[in-house]
Amino acid sequence: MGILEILGLAGSLSLLAGWRLYLTILATGIAMHFGWLPLPEHLQSLQILANPWVLGVAAVGTLAEFLADKVAWIDSIWDTIHSLIRPLGGALLALALVDSSDPAWQVIAFILGGGGALLSHGAKATTRAVVNVSPEPFSNAAVSTGEDVATTGLLALAIAYPPLAIVIAILLLVAAVVVIIALRRLLRNIKATLKRTLGDEPADPALPSG
């Protein structure tokens, strides 16, 4: 893989780790185990992800996340717990993909990988906060299943076609930013509506008091 493919794969994996950290580790490890993801010489240390113990722990984490993510409010608790774990995992995945002989690139990869994972995690957590407000019980499971399918599909594409990884990373980055901005505005509107409904909206000082 060339430098662009490595950077694209690092970006894709770190961003997807913000959605599904354990699934990302599991899929990457399985791809390495079966030789679907050819590694340059300086990336052979990543073979640790194909270790049976690592795969086992990642599989348990994937199952736990799959179940927790389908239940309203439990998913938000899970997201809160992973607010540090996912960015750190994304940063370490990105760090492992760059040349260990170049400290500058390692620092850059660690910062960008952690930042990317934090950004996608923020988009996911914010989406769940909005979905959990919905009174019906099915939207949460539907959104979670959509994330499962999207993460699996994008991981498969990035691993099978490394040249596409940079495109996937860019699209994920743009989507995360757009989602966060849109949902923050929506949450503000919901909060303002609730205040007006409950009569907690502060009185307009320009209106006469009597």
Quote the crossing angle between the two packed helices 3-17 and 162-198, to the nearest 10°: 30
Name the amino acid, one letter, at 100: S
Packed helices 85-96 and 3-17: angle between N→C axes, nearest 10 degrees: 170
pLDDT at 207: 47
pTM: 0.79
d(CA 52, CA 74): 29
pLDDT in tens, 105-157: 788 888 889 999 999 998 998 888 788 877 666 788 888 898 889 999 998 88
Per-residue pLDDT tens digits for 44-88: 556 778 788 999 999 999 999 999 888 888 888 899 999 999 999
55: burial class by Cβ within 10 Å (0-12, 13-18, 19+)?
middle
Mean pLDDT throughout 192-197?
Answer: 76
Pairwise CA distance, residues 149 & 69, whole Å = 13
Quick: pLDDT tens for 10-34. Answer: 889 899 999 999 999 998 888 877 7
Q: What is the pLDDT of residue 62?
A: 94
